[in-house]
Amino acid sequence: MTGAGSVHVDTGTDTVLAAVTDGVAVLTLNRPQRRNALHPEMYEALPRLLERFAADDDVGCVLLTGAGGVFCAGGDVRDGGSARGLPDGDREAQIRYRAGLLTENARIVTLLHTMPKITVAALPGAAVGAGMSIALAADLRIAARSARLIPGWAALAFSGDFGGAWFLSGLVGPAKALELLIADKPVDADTALGLGVFNRVVDDPDLAAAAMDWARVIAAGPTYAFAGTKANVADAQRLPLPEALLSESERMVRCSLTEEHRNAVKAWLTAAKTRSGVNREVSELT
């Protein structure tokens, strides 16, 4: 999903690739031989890169995808980490310790969800377990027609991680989310589109180009205004209307003070004059 003008970014690991093209930061999960299952190096690299791109004024959109025709198979169960018992000692303390480590690893979804840039997940194939959570944490999702969402936790007698239930409940409502998570059956792309979980579905060969085209439009801005819009939508899910209106109004005023707003007004006025001139010409001809 990168072009000739891409600037490659050193990620410090082969498990994650990164490049910036036309204001779009593209992050690629790169363990195709393991269906892009999460790896300890990803837990360090992805948050670091997301924080970097969040602060980079040359980046207007972050696009996350997976190599090898798969998005992400979730946690790598084969490493045996989840099957380890607790050592002798304070059981509850050990549980809290492990929960803290898992929460730290899940910073990936927190950053995707809260960073001021619009984030897009492009799914070339299956997103399973924590991989599904990561896809749902992005602001927007575009998927290949063969893509699937697979909760996967129940099959391993897990309750879920990386915010999967939180994100899915916000998208489809709590009852439907619980139904999907307990059923633990693949959700195909067209069904996900109908549920509002996917924003766009395209034929498999078209995914890379369609995702980049969409991300480029978003990256072109107005990025400051988009950040405010993202915050408004977040507030709508957690604040009562009076509080949301106050925050929304403050963001509106801040937008009015930006250079991108002034440039947008100039462009709008120029277009309005052009439209007015065309209308006069049509009126004279008729």
pLDDT of residue 100 exceeding 60: yes
Of the candidates 150, 155, 114, 159, the residue with the CA atom closest to the CA atom of residue 132? 150
Whether 109 and 215 map to the same domain: the answer is yes
Same domain, 262 and 276: yes
Residues 93 and 230 in one domain: no
SS3 269: helix
Q: Which of 203, 219, 235 is the last residue of a domain?
A: 219
205 and 242: one domain? no
Segment 115-143, tens digit of pLDDT: 999 999 999 999 999 999 999 999 999 99
Q: Is residue 187 part of a domain?
A: yes
Closest C-alpha to 1, from 215, 284, 156: 215
pLDDT band at 285, cuts 50/70/90? very low
Cis peptide bond prior to 124, omega within 30° of 0: no
CA distance 147 to 10: 29
Domain co-membership, 235 together with 203: no
User: Does residue 234 lie in a domain region?
Assistant: yes
Same-domain status, 178 and 268: no
Q: Answer yes or no: are the C-beta atoms of 171 and 187 closer than 8 Å.
A: no
User: What pLDDT digit, counting tens, does each position of 175-231 carry?
Assistant: 999 999 999 999 999 999 999 999 999 999 999 999 999 999 999 999 999 999 999
Edge to edge, the sheet with strand 16-21 lists 7-9, 16-21, 24-29, 61-66, 118-123, 140-144, 200-202
pLDDT in the model for residue 82: 52
Does the pLDDT value for residue 286 go beyond 80? no
Q: Are both 245 and 143 inside the same structural domain?
A: no
What value does the mean pLDDT of the chain take? 93
Do 204 and 160 lie in one domain? The reply is yes
1 part of a folded domain: no
Is the pLDDT reported for residue 23 higher than 90? Answer: yes
Do 205 and 86 sit in the same domain of this protein? yes
The verdict on residue 141 lying in a domain is: yes
CB contact set of 134 (below 8 Å; sequence gap of 6+): 64, 72, 108, 109, 112, 121, 127, 162
* DSSP structural state of residue 86: P
Surface-to-core class of residue 210, CB atoms within 10 Å of its CB (0-12 exposed, 13-18 middle, 19+ buried): middle
- Domain boundary at 174, 198, 219, which? 219
End-of-domain residue from the set 166, 199, 219:
219
For residue 66, the enclosing domain spans 7-219
Strands 24-29, 61-66: pairing kind: parallel
Q: How many domains does the chain have?
A: 2
